[in-house]
Amino acid sequence: MSRNGPFSLYEFFAGGGMARLGLGEHWGCLFANDFDPVKAAVYRDNFGDAHMREGDVWALTSSDLPGRADLAWASSPCQDFSLAGARAGLTGGKSSAFFGFWRLIEALDDEARAPRALVIENVSGLMTSHGGTDFAALTEALSSRGYRFGALEIDAAAFLPQSRPRVFIIATREAVPANLIGPSPFHTRAVRAAFSHLSMEQRSHWLWWRLAAPPLRNQTLAALLEPDAAVDWRTPEQTGKLLGLMNPTHYDRLKTAAAKGRAVGAVFRRMRGGDQRAEARFDGLAGCLRTPAGGSSRQTLVVAEGDEVRSRLLTGREGARLMGLPDSYRLPASQTAALQVVGDGVAVPVVRWLAEHLLEPLLGEADRKPAAA
Angstrom distances, CA of residue 10 to CA of 79, 212, 237: 23, 26, 50
Using alpha carbons, select from 7, 2, 4 the residue that is nearest to residue 355: 7
Given a contact cutoff of 8 angstroms between Cβ atoms, the answer to whether 350 and 159 are in contact is yes
- Exposure letters 70-84 (e unless 16+ CB within 10 A, then b): bbbbbbbbbbbbbee
Q: Read off φ and ψ for residue 287, nearest 5 degrees.
A: -70, 170
Q: What is the DSSP letter of 359?
A: I
Separation of alpha carbons 69 and 10, rounded Å:
6
Chain mean position to CA 369:
31
CB of 258 within 8 A of CB of 309?
yes
Please tell me the distance from the alpha carbon of residue 210 to that of residue 90, in angstroms, as a whole number.
28
Of 74, 78, 286, 323, which residue is the catalytic one? 78
Cα 355 to Cα 20, 124, 210, 359: the distances in Å are 11, 20, 13, 5
CA distance 277 to 70: 47
Give the H/E segment covering residue 41: helix 37-47
Residue 359's closest CA among 169, 76, 88? 169
**What distances in angstroms separate CA 332 from CA 12, 38, 40, 341, one per listed residue?**
21, 8, 11, 9
- 288 noted as active-site residue: no
Determine the Cα–Cα distance for residues 146 and 174; give it in Å rounded to an integer: 10
201 vs 199: CA distance, rounded Å: 5
Q: Is 236 helix (H, G, I), strand (E, B) or coil?
A: helix
Kindly list the catalytic residues: 78
